[in-house]
Structure 1
Amino acid sequence: MLRSVLGPALAALLGSTLLFPPAALAQKRADPRPAVSAVRGTVPYATRDDAMRFADDVAARRNLDRDWVRATIGAARLLPNVPRLMLPPKRGTAKNWAAYRQRIVDPVRIAAGARFWRDNAALLARAEAEYGVPPEIVVGIIGVETLYGRIMGNFRVIDALATLSFDFPQSHPRAAEREAFFRGELESFLSTESRTAEDPMVPLGSYAGAMGMPQFMPSSMAKYAVDFDGDGRIDLVNNNADVIGSVASYFKAFGWQRRMPSIYPVRFDAARLKMPVLMAPDIKPTFSADSFVATGAVLEGEALKHPGLLALIELQNGDDAPSYVAGTQNFYVITRYNWSSYYAMSVLELGDEVKAAMAQ
């Protein structure tokens, strides 16, 4: 999850002993997952002048111990295979919602999601009461991200962030912007780690540096993670309460609207259809229900009375006809977690399938 607004969670965060616990620490529940071996990097960044200059700059701006920052970045190691993973897919690769859905919304995730919901029903209900985010959305996010904690990544976070800060592929069309993003995440990680007694070499995550069951980036940890069970520390690896509360906190910070549907069905009136107009804003809600209909979209029932703005969401299906839905502000909020309409739809559909399984 690579996204970011300072929220009320920051104050609580700064007042607690902060997350990133190593697996060896006492856990709140038995962890059935096998121990994960970290992917090993190669050349340490202690030999790189650019990395050491960055360390000095971070230490000065954040008022951190210079030697500690230099030693921490210096101990990070280049992950040679990670930069190419950041490159966009080659042109000509057709998007296919049906195939994407099949990979994500599968029987294994649905069954695991139902178990997670049953085991954490009270926490999910409290998160909905406090933040307005329904259980199926929280359950959908955690399922899509890490299969409820089964797949959280085995890259050392410090290695991943250093690699993408100092060796981001320059052939990427947005290389400068993405490099700056990862340097900001590395700085956030260092700032957080400096306030704990933990070893900054221990945390594991994705090849992009996302951590825990909800795959928060370091800046999201600092802004949105919450100590939902009030034990004085935030743990997004082993503590389901903090995971659930933090996901709900993130959604509320980005404008989730309580009881608002995320999508509506949509059809088209070919005689009035102005598809270029409907598609121009992409996934950002722009049209009132009336203006949406005036461009040739056909809505029915409650959708015609939707009080907010709508966007036309197109999901390509390879060589087959695309699928379409009308997306609301809440659909757009899901894409703030991962900027993809395919991702957002998979979260919604996995959550709905889990909810249906709960009723059986």
Structure 2
Amino acid sequence: MIQVVRNLTLAVIFMAVPWLAVAEENAEKGEEGFTAYVEQIKQEALADGYKAETLETAFAGVQFYQRSVKADRNQPEFKLTLDTYLPRAVPEWKAKKAVEMYEQHRELLEKIGSEYGVQPRFIVALWGIETNFGSFTGGMDVISALTTMAYEGRREAFFKKELWHALTIVEEGHIPIEQMKGSWAGAMGQAQFMPSSFMSYAVDYDGDGRKDIWGSQGDVFASAANYLKSVGWRDDVTWGRQVQLPEEFDTELASLNVKKPLSEWQELGVRRYDGGDLPQRDDIEASVVIPDDKQGRVFLAYNNYDALMRWNRSHYFVAAVGYLSDRIRFPR
């Protein structure tokens, strides 16, 4: 009876959410179904104008990544807060290494920062948070990861679009297929760009004819800077700052959709974390962001906070990048 109820429940869920039925069916088919799916993908790509040679090269070693499916479906079983997340994302050794890497690449970073209007410390901070300064970019074959996620079915349209962009990258010769490595979801290289972001923002900064976000430091830094510039980055302001709220603060005002001049936040009782007045700049509008609750960390988010949210729509991610950039600016 329990099994009957379970099957009936699943049937109702599947009727309400069609992708669940597809995902369950594909999971049961396993690798045998994946092989047939790959052939289907190749025929679709061929019909869309991709060269047969490109497809043979790209899919020659394609494989089903059960790890990608598990990573996509599994959710954390414990609740993080910003106070527990930040020490993990930015341990002391990473803050020190960020300063070292900034100094090591200072000339290149300052040149790129000047050209794109992005403070170099933010380029280094993104590099550090995303891939530990290029040392952990993910070792999974990007074509396999994207094809697996499309086959899994939950977000097939999204991952097929990314797969098509990845095939374009292969066809344009930016990276040999055996070096096209990334995360379980297909995020690539030291910048961890999805293929669509690569197509929109990657830069051939060193002028060798390839946009190499895997191995060219100039391409990596310039691509990150180009992304930020393209989504509205300002190099005359920082990302935000931690602040104190008055006891009576209306938390309905805490939203990136609510923007006020700093003078208005000052009038509403918002203060620097040390209790001092907010900066006296009429050209800056900001939002109040409360990632956890009023007892946790609270930020006044400037324009660049929004830009970082375009990179990764997570307040924790933005706080980690911002915090690391501050540690580069003010090393201890």
| TM-score for both structures, normalised by structure 1 | 0.74
Alignment-derived partner of residue 350 in structure 1: 324
- Classify 1:181/1:295 alpha carbon distance in 2 versus 1 (closer, same or farther; 3 Å): farther
Out of 235, 248, 263, the residue aligned to residue 240 of structure 2 is: 263
Alignment match of 2:214 (pick from 233, 237, 249) = 237
AA paired with 2:287? A
1:47 aligns with 2:35: yes
1:40-68 deviation per Cα after TM superposition (whole angstroms, max 9, x unaligned): xx93777324x43333333333x212464
Q: State the Cα deviation string for residues 226-262 of structure 1 (Å, max 9, x = none).
A: 1222233222222211111111111001110121221
Q: 1:286 aligns with which of 248, 259, 265?
A: 259
Aligned length: 300
Structure with bigger helix share is 2
Q: Describe the SS at the equivalent of 2:218.
A: helix
Contact 2:175 2:212 (C-alpha < 8 Å) held by counterparts:
no
User: Paired residue for 1:341?
Assistant: 315
Q: Which of residues 139, 147, 153 is equivalent to 2:132?
A: 147
- Displacement of 1:115: 2.3
Shift of the 284–78 alpha-carbon distance from structure 1 to 2, 3 Å rule, reads farther
Other-structure match for 1:216 = 193
SS of the residue 2:177 aligns to: coil
- 2:56, 2:179 → 1: CA distance? 17
CA contact (8 A) 2:95 2:327 kept: yes
Distance 1:179 1:292 in 2: 44
Residue 325 of structure 1, aligned match among 265, 281, 299: 299
Q: State the shift of 1:108 in Å.
A: 2.4
Matched, 1:79 2:55: no
- 1:305 corresponds to which of 247, 260, 281: 281
Deviation for aligned residue 1:110: 2.1
| Shift in CA distance, 303/94, structure 1 to aligned 2, threshold 3 Å | farther
State the secondary structure of the residue aligned to 2:66.
coil
Runs of 4+ off more than 6 Å:
none
TM (normalized to structure 2)? 0.80
Partner SS, residue 31 of structure 2: coil
Q: What is the aligned partner in structure 1 of residue 150 from structure 2?
A: 165
Shift of 1:187: 0.6
Structure with greater contact order relative to length (CA < 8 Å, sep ≥ 6): 1
Question: How do 1:6-25 residues align onto structure 2 when only pairs under 5 Å count?
Answer: none
In the aligned structure 1, how far is the partner of 2:261 from the partner of 2:287? 9
Change (3 A) 1:156 1:81: same
Identity %: 24
Partner of residue 205 from structure 1, selected from 182, 187, 203: 182
Aligned-pair Cα RMSD in Å:
2.8
Equivalent-residue separation in structure 1 for 2:175 and 2:217 (angstroms)? 20
Is the CA contact (8 Å cut-off) linking 2:242 and 2:297 kept in structure 1? Answer: no
Structure 2: runs of 5+ lacking an equivalent? 1-29
